[in-house]
Amino acid sequence: MDLQQIKYFLALARELHFWNTAGKMNITQSALSRQIQSLENQLGVQLFERNKRNVKLTATGQFLKEKWEVELSKLEFIHQSARQIQLGESGTITISHPDSISASLMPEILSRISEAFPKLKIKLVQVLYENQQDFLRNYKIDLAITRDINNAKDIQSQKIHTDHLAVVVPADHPYQTPEDLTKETLASQKFILPTNDEGSSYSDIIRRLFHSLENAPEVYLHSEFGSSIIALVRKGLGIAILPDSYVFHEIPGIRFIKLPLETDLYVNWRTEDHNPVLSNVLKLIIP
């Protein structure tokens, strides 16, 4: 068994089609079949159930697919790190960030990185709250910028910025100041809020706000995507509470009413990650 055989297996496990997989891997279909059969013989297991029409993973194949994808990512990360050490300030870094800072903080961060490391490739992604730490641990991302406090021992965090929460309303909404939010006025409002994630410190801030107003609002809809929430507010389907950094998106037809509630931003990375590129980028991000 060698690394290439595992790559053939993972490619076939994704495609579930010998002809398509062989084409993508630049080998013949018969050569791919021999490689898979050899792998099965070496392991003493059946990886695929196949007939003239269909190919599907066995339970054993599914188990190995899930495990090998993670291990291969780790191995490729190690190889990439070795190349980056050899080449110096080059390579690729993958950063996840909330939609709320796409037009505020991220352009400034990317400008600093690009100016300092012009050969560095940057990949930006958005990751659901519940997946952020797993994506870091499995080397799918290198940095995660979040609004949540991290308590994991294998992930290190540093505060980098603070925004305020704001009430987001249509331009013609009667709310004008934070004082307009009262127990009585909130009773007639429908809210469109970010997804209520258990354990999220950001979600806790919003819950504390409503608790202070002695009101449990009627939540019309939850969404992971702030831009979608703002579009619904603009359509007149409700009001929202979001970070005031969304004001940089310059969306007409809505107003932001700044609240005296802060929401912090943190950068998170693997504690034992000694990638020199990561270290250099962190120096540019952390104040």
Report DSSP letters for 98-126, one per residue.
Answer: -GGGTTTHHHHHHHHHHHH-TTEEEEEE-
* Cα R_g (the chain), whole angstroms: 24
Kindly report the backbone phi and psi dihedral angles of residue 153, in degrees, each rounded to the nearest multiple of 5, phi listed first: -75, -30
Residue 199 has a pLDDT of: 56
Averaged pLDDT in 10-residue chunks for the chain of 287 residues: 90 92 92 94 93 88 93 86 64 91 95 90 89 92 92 94 94 93 86 74 81 75 87 93 92 93 94 87 91
Q: Name the strand (E) or helix (H) holding 27.
A: none
Q: Of all residues in the chain, what percent are helix, strand and coil, respectively (each to 5)?
A: 45, 25, 30
Residue 84 has a pLDDT of: 60
Residues 6+ apart with CB under 8 A from 30: none
Residue 71 has a pLDDT of: 92
Residue 233 has a pLDDT of: 94
Helix ranges (DSSP H) in 169-225: 183-186, 201-212
Task: State the Cα–Cα distance between residues 217 and 230, nearest whole angstrom.
Answer: 18
Residue 88 has a pLDDT of: 47
Q: Is 170 left (phi over 0), alpha (psi -120 to 50) or beta?
A: beta
With 0.85 as the threshold, say if the pTM is over it: no
